[in-house]
Structure 1
Amino acid sequence: MELTDSVWEIIKTNSNVLDGKVWYGVKSTKIFCKPSCPSRIPNKSNVLLFTNPDDPVKCGFRPCKRCQPINEVVSDEIWVAEINHILENYYDQNLTLAELAILAHGSISHLRHVYQSKTGISPSEKLMQIRMDKARILLLNSNRSISNIGNDVGIPNNSYFIKIFKKIYGITPHQYRAKRPN
């Protein structure tokens, strides 16, 4: 089905006119919803339409936790996997817990609670792990400046980037880079 202006308007206004007839998937989050879903309006270029609720699942999308487009509750395990997917794809942005909750289609407090109970760490801690791992890879495989690498992984404050890196790895980014084989 084609994303016409009239269908897009239904999604933008959260109308229930097409509920049960059309589902939309968001490519950037791999979540699919009913047109009436009250979650944040996605970028139109990231939207795929489906006329059968089984098709988005076959394409790797998971049902929205908020609107439950196939009238099934999404398990916490699947939701945590989706949160991890979002963290892996948005680590380089200013990703607050509020923004993460919007992208994962859940509330802030529920997201924090479920994530912590299933993983043993907070979403913020996981985000920092991802950022530091990406920074470590960039330090070993590029000649970008330390401040540029910090910025590339979503930590534009160079002092803070160095402080966190040293806390996790026990040495500064400069010292870490110096250890790489030539």
Structure 2
Amino acid sequence: MNEEYWQAIVECDHAYDGQFWYGVLTTGIFCRPSCKSRVPKKENIRIFANTVEPEKIGLRPCKRCQPHVQHWRPADEELASRVEQLIDACYQEPLTLQEIASRLFVSPYYLQRSFTKLKLCSPTQYLSQKRVEAAKELLSETTGSVTDIAMQVGFRTSAYFAQVFHKVTGQTPTQYRTQMMRELK
């Protein structure tokens, strides 16, 4: 085995996924280079060009990284995608980190850490951004009151809505609406 492949295995490098697979002869499994399993001893590893070769010699696919599945994504990426989908579909509801975590059957700590690492913002920040984007649409397309719009997009008080809206956009909801009306004229 060459040193480049060994480093890819040690570092769980996603860039090598699909280029090679490795089998661990002592455990009888084969994995992707990005697998987060414990690093095996170098002398117990065999490199394969595809997923058929390791199965021919009796190795089974790893349950963690599922090397035989073509469109596999790491658990963190899958979770982040599911969080985005949940928030996009339910942003009007009173969602909290705890509520999102319970709906996705994960711990709030794991959800927060995984999502923030991949998306560079917390689930709560993503939720606020989604709500503000929806509010911007309503403010520019309807004549509803700021309080009504705040409630429609999931905020519980108009004061908190105004605070979050200002933090995200640099304007109050009323200033934003006034600016949009001027631009339409």
Change (3 A) 1:140 1:175: same
Counterpart in 1 of 2:89?
A: 89
Q: Deviations over 1:148-178 (max 9, x none)?
A: 0000111121111111111211111111111
Counterpart in 2 of 1:80?
A: 80
Distance in 1 separating the partners of 2:159 and 2:80: 31
Supply the AA of the counterpart residue of 1:126.
Answer: Y
Distance in 1 separating the partners of 2:164 and 2:97: 19
Structure number with larger C-alpha Rg: 2
Change (3 A) 1:177 1:108: same
* Structure 1 residue matching 2:95: 3-state secondary structure: coil
Supply the AA of the counterpart residue of 1:91.
Answer: Y
Counterpart in 2 of 1:154?
A: 154
Counterpart in 2 of 1:170?
A: 170
More helix by share: 2
Q: Deviations over 1:9-49 (max 9, x none)?
A: xxxxxxxxxxxxxxxxxxxxxxxxxxxxxxxxxxxxxxxxx
* Structure 1 residue matching 2:156: 3-state secondary structure: coil
Query: RMSD between aligned alpha carbons?
Result: 1.6
How much has 1:74 moved relative to structure 2? 6.0
Supply the AA of the counterpart residue of 2:95.
Answer: L
Distance in 1 separating the partners of 2:121 and 2:127: 10
| Ranges of 4+ aligned residues in structure 1 off by more than 2 Å | 72-75
Counterpart in 1 of 2:142?
A: 142
Counterpart in 1 of 2:121?
A: 121
Supply the AA of the counterpart residue of 2:100.
Answer: L
Identity %: 29
Distance in 1 separating the partners of 2:73 and 2:165: 39
Counterpart in 1 of 2:26?
A: none
Distance in 1 separating the partners of 2:73 and 2:122: 23
Which runs of no fewer than 5 residues in structure 1 stay unpaired? 1-71
* Matched ranges for 1:44-123 at <5 A: 75-123=75-123
Count of aligned pairs between the two proteins: 111
How much has 1:75 moved relative to structure 2? 2.2
Which runs of no fewer than 5 residues in structure 2 stay unpaired? 1-71
Supply the AA of the counterpart residue of 1:124.
Answer: T
* Matched ranges for 1:26-41 at <5 A: none
